[in-house]
Amino acid sequence: MAGVPRVVLGRRGPRVPAVGLGLWQAGFKMWGPREEEAVRSVREAIRAALEHGLTLFDTAEIYGQGFSEKLLGEEVGNRDDAFIVSKVAGYRVTRRGVLKAAEGIRRRLKRDAVDLLLHHWPPPLHTPLCSVVRALEEAVDRGLARYIGLSNYPENLLGKAVECARRHEILVDQVQYSLAYRVVERGLRPLAEKLGVTIMAWSPLAKGALAGKTAADNKARKGDPVFNAASKDAELLETLRSIAEGLGATMAQVALAWLVAKGSVPVVGFRRRRHVEEAFKAARLRLPEWAIHELDKASEKYRSLWGAKYSAVQNLRWVPSPIQMLVIRLMGGI
Ligand SMILES: NC(=O)c1ccc[n+]([C@@H]2O[C@H](COP(=O)([O-])OP(=O)(O)OC[C@H]3O[C@@H](n4cnc5c(N)ncnc54)[C@H](OP(=O)(O)O)[C@@H]3O)[C@@H](O)[C@H]2O)c1
């Protein structure tokens, strides 16, 4: 089988598959009940991913409160061809908190070290940012992680965090980015390019809407305005459909390939072998210029619809860390 195209993370980071696979779904909490059959399907999909050489996986300590990491650990473990991204929760703001969480992540993943450790969302207002970055760096120095990065950091905080880093490069900022959420293109992506930080795109299919899903059939989709807008956007969906048809691809493949063409690394949520096979094809699909142009045009309004600046999960910054932690624990993760 021909291989998966790879890209470099950051300026001098490792080379990873151009499309990653997200395991929020494998935590099940907001995506539906954790039934035996559903868990088996995720396990099979992970094995299919490894067979296809799609070895970039994304998870987090809060996905099913560690369940997603454990599942991945059982299937992948210490394989050195895999590259696993995990995230310490944004409420971890002390050195001790970050290091303890990183140790927990490594243990659940059954790995010597997590390959890329991210801070999941920016710390609450008035919390010293540099202490979080230094703690991530210390996780590398202690062998708990190989590389570090951030998630959901808007441009002002990304700039500051990069200045704080002393010994290790911040490789990525993982943010919401898709044809239906393009606000990152206005300020964050140009800054990230200047700083040599890779944009990793979460919700690249707007939770399935850009693959043609219309039913808000679980909590994750119900509460998501981007899913709701995209699933009703006849013009954008029709453009995706006709380009996909013309290229002998699917809407999902085209939506992911568009993100790759924009220089980002999408991490697509998966629960089935079919999702993995499509992600594999998407990584190998090079969109012609005319298709990129048509998609840009059909999704132009999403450059400004959600505001002038990156806003996903930013309201958490108003909530003190102990309260964030309590609420997420009481929920049993997300
Ligand atoms: N850093 C953060 O704050 C953050 C936030 C959210 C997500 N993430 C990461 O990003 C990943 C992806 O984001 P997301 O889950 O929000 O949204 P997404 O990737 O846009 O949507 C995933 C859903 O789309 C459907 N899907 C996937 N491939 C498909 C295909 N080929 N054809 C048809 N449908 C397909 C599946 O729905 P069904 O399962 O219903 O079939 C899947 O669960 C997550 O798993 C997580 O790792 C990070």
Tens digit of pLDDT for each residue in 213-261?
999 999 999 989 999 999 999 999 999 999 999 999 999 999 999 999 9
Q: State if residue 205 touches ligand 1 by the CB under 6 angstroms criterion.
A: yes
Q: Which atom of ligand 1 is nearest to the CA of 25?
A: 45
CA of 256 to the centre of ligand 1 (A): 11
Q: What number is the average pLDDT over the span 60-78?
A: 97
Q: State if residue 189 touches ligand 1 by the CB under 6 angstroms criterion.
A: no
Q: Which atom of ligand 1 is nearest to the CA of 23?
A: 45
Task: Give the chain's mean pLDDT.
Answer: 97
Output the pLDDT for position 322.
96
111 contacts 77 by C-beta, under 8 angstroms: yes
CA of 167 to the centre of ligand 1 (A): 33
Q: State if residue 231 touches ligand 1 by the CB under 6 angstroms criterion.
A: no
Q: In the chain, what are the domain boundaries?
A: 17-330
pLDDT tens by residue, 24-55 = 999 999 999 999 999 999 999 999 999 999 99
Q: Is the pTM of this model over 0.85?
A: yes
Domain 17-330 -> CATH class? alpha beta
Is the pLDDT reported for residue 6 higher than 70? yes
Is the pLDDT reported for residue 210 higher than 60? yes
pLDDT band (50, 70, 90) for residue 1: low
